[in-house]
């Protein structure tokens, strides 16, 4: 039955409809794959019993003709989404043991449409990181390796457990969240598709908050079609999230295969950064050629404030994080560290000192500093003004183009431990993705080729707000032209 794990979501849907196999068969095949993949460390919590129970219910619905759009699909859920009665940690010691009494809107939407959760995936602590190395539960290992080289590589981050589990065929799709690139960068590092929707498209309710004006949930899958199916389920208007937008969810899957002739695609000059990997530059021009061959028009554009996006982000995101993470106090949930004679301030300080990891503390301290009296205007307001200029750059070019094509990342996946000594070199991973979060726009990463070491590389398409349809239409063209069929060689079953 192991071939069931090679099916895409669309193929699995067809197989279930044709009764070639049951939802229980499909779930069991993936649970077996997970059992054999301990060496990848993709999951913080496994939920096999719950999965089999839901799969049996799914088979009943299929039998009575009541299938939802995600019926019987075995998926993984990033451990940042609160799941009722299932531990939710954000990969932080401070939330270890936290078992929500409620379900996030996005994961509830997936359940309502018939999806089956296999477990909760590992991530950078509170989604702060680009390599999954800040997790309290140890790093995730990328299923991909360089050819002839056993060096363990990072799966990207923060949605590293989700990206690795989709690439390793442990699930048909996974949820991710993206604050500065946390869906698209790991998707590129593992050869899968990742979508960061427009801010407000998916509800943030029940997702552990990192930086509320930037966070957005999205799908991670092996094909563009699967991402379209899964986003259609995740997206909704939700009155419980005041930044959720009341707009109908279009049929994204219907966009695939539609004509792209006449669409204008911008190539931003400022994304040609110094020291860019020549293989990535070559892939980027191939991407432009593929879209041109399909009848789109390629246009050079300028996004002049691009270089200021990361510095602005590293003021805004830590500022919001320092406020959001104030709730972890040793009183309401999770870890509590105190001696019997401690006062309440000591309880707070000891709990947070022990409960937060190094990167989280670094960002909380930066955020506290830039929001503190005397520095608020110089840092925080200044960064918000620069954010306006970055958003304005996009508004200006979207008068002339329908989408923008860029590389997703400046490099392929790197080795575990290679970049942990220098926070800024780690932050630079998000140089091509972070602008999209600041402007609130949708972006998609599509696996487009392999580098000389046999590692996957991704291309990113950026669209107008609430125009995910065009991204799916163009993404499907890039996917077909790239004809990316590579998958990681399974070394982990023997190692687990």
Catalytic residue, chosen from 91, 130, 182, 203, is 182
Nearest Cα neighbor of 391 from 442, 443, 436, 445 is 436
Among residues 28, 78, 120, 196, the one annotated as catalytic is 78
Contact in structure between 131 and 157 (CB atoms under 8 Å): yes
Residue 107 CB, shortest distance to other proteins, in Å, is 18
Closest residue by Cα to residue 184 from 213, 212, 219, 208: 219
Annotation says 322 is catalytic = no
Question: Would you call 237 helix, strand, or coil by DSSP?
Answer: coil
Angle at 78 between CA 76 and CA 80, to 5 degrees: 150
Catalytic annotation present for 158: yes
DSSP for residue 253: G
Report the residue number, 145 or 387, with the smaller CB distance to other proteins: 387
Q: Where are the alpha helices (DSSP H) in 64-210?
A: 105-112, 160-167, 184-190
d(CA 22, CA 170): 17
Return the number of the residue (153 or 319) whose C-beta is nearest other proteins.
319
- SS3 state of residue 178: strand
Cβ neighbours for 313, distance < 8 A, ≥ 6 positions apart: 180, 214, 430, 434, 437, 438
Phi-psi region of 7 (alpha: psi -120 to 50; beta: other; left: phi over 0): beta
CB of 95 to other proteins, least distance (A): 9
**Residue 259: is it exposed, middle or buried by C-beta count within 10 angstroms (0-12/13-18/19+)?**
exposed
Query: What are the DSSP calls for 77-119, one per residue?
Result: EETTB-BTTB---TT-GGGTT---SS--HHHHHHHHTT-EEEE
Contact predicate 197/216, CB 8 Å: yes
Check: CB of residue 157 under 8 Å from CB of residue 132. yes
Shortest reach from residue 21's CB to other proteins, in Å: 39
Q: In this complex, which beta carbon is closest to other proteins, that of residue 21 or of residue 369? A: 369
CB of 279 to other proteins, least distance (A): 27
CB-nearer residue toward other proteins: 23 or 438: 438
Tell me how far, at minimum, the Cβ of 252 lies from other proteins, in Å: 19
Report yes or no: 284 and 405 within 8 Å, Cβ to Cβ.
yes
User: Of 161, 35, 173, 40, which is closest to residue 117 (Cα–Cα)?
Assistant: 173
Strands 403-407, 297-301: pairing is unpaired
Q: Write down the least CB distance from residue 343 to other proteins, Å.
A: 5
* Least separation in angstroms between CB 342 and other proteins: 6
Q: How far is the CB of 361 from other proteins (least distance, A)?
A: 6
Distance of CA 317 to the CA centre of its chain: 16
Phi, psi dihedrals of residue 305, rounded to the nearest 5°: -95, 10
Choice among 92, 158, 163, 236 that is catalytic: 158
Nearest-angstrom CA–CA distance, 311 and 464: 23
Smaller CB distance to other proteins: residue 82 or 283? 82
Active site residue 162: no
Task: For residue 56, give both structure tokens.
Answer: 């049996």
Nearest distance from C-beta of residue 329 to other proteins, angstroms: 8
> What does the block give as tokens for 16?
């279930």
Phi, psi of 83 (to 5 degrees): -125, 130
Spatial contact of 380 and 316, defined as CB atoms under 8 Å apart: yes
Q: Nearer to other proteins by C-beta: 308 or 491?
A: 308
Separation between Cα atoms, residue 434 and residue 200, nearest integer Å: 17
To other proteins, the closest distance from the beta carbon of 390 in angstroms equals: 8
Positions annotated as catalytic residues are 78, 158, 182
């Amino acid at each position: 039955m192991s071939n069931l794990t090679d099916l895409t979501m669309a193929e699995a849907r067809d197989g279930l409809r044709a009764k070639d196999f049951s939802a229980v068969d499909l779930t069991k095949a993936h649970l077996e794959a997970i059992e054999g993949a301990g060496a990848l460390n993709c999951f913080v919590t496994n939920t096999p019993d719950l999965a089999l129970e839901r799969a049996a219910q799914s088979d009943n619905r299929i039998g009575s003709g009541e299938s939802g759009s995600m019926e019987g699909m075995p998926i993984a859920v990033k451990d940042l989404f609160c799941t009722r009665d299932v531990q939710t940690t954000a990969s932080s010691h401070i939330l270890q043991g936290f078992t929500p009494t409620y379900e996030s809107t996005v994961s509830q939407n997936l359940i309502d449409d018939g999806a089956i959760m296999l477990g909760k995936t590992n991530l950078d602590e509170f989604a702060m990181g680009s390599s999954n190395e800040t997790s309290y539960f140890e790093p995730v290992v990328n299923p991909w390796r360089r050819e002839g080289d056993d060096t363990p590589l990072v799966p990207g981050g923060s949605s590293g457990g989700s990206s690795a589990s989709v690439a390793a065929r442990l699930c048909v799709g996974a949820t991710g969240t993206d604050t500065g690139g946390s869906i698209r960068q790991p998707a590129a590092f593992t050869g899968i598709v990742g979508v960061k929707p427009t801010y407000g498209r998916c509800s943030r309710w029940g997702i552990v908050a990192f930086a509320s004006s930037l966070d957005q949930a999205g799908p991670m899958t092996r094909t563009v079609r699967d991402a379209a199916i899964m986003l259609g389920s995740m997206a909704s208007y939700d009155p419980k999230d005041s930044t959720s937008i009341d707009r109908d969810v279009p049929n994204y899957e219907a966009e695939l295969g539609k004509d792209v002739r006449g669409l204008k695609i911008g190539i931003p000059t400022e994304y040609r950064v110094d020291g860019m990997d020549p293989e990535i530059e070559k892939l980027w021009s191939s991407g432009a050629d593929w879209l041109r061959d399909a009848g789109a028009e390629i246009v050079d554009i300028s996004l002049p404030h691009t270089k200021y996006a990361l510095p602005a982000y590293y003021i805004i995101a830590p500022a919001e994080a320092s406020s959001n993470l104030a709730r972890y106090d040793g009183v309401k949930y999770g870890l509590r560290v105190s001696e019997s004679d401690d006062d309440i301030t000591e309880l707070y300080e000891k709990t947070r000192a022990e409960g937060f990891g190094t990167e989280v503390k670094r960002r909380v301290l930066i955020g506290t500093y830039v929001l503190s009296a005397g520095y608020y205007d110089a840092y925080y307001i200044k960064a918000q003004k620069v954010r306006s200029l970055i958003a304005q750059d996009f508004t200006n070019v979207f008068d002339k183009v329908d989408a923008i094509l860029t590389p997703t990342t400046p490099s392929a996946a790197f080795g575990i431990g290679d970049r942990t000594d220098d926070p800024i070199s780690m932050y630079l991973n998000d140089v091509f993705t972070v602008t999209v979060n600041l402007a609130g726009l949708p972006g998609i990463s599509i696996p487009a080729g392999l580098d000389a070491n046999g590692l996957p590389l991704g291309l990113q398409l950026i669209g107008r707000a609430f125009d995910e349809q065009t991204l799916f239409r163009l993404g499907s063209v890039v996917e077909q032209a790239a004809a990316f069929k590579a998958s990681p060689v399974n070394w982990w079953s023997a190692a687990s």
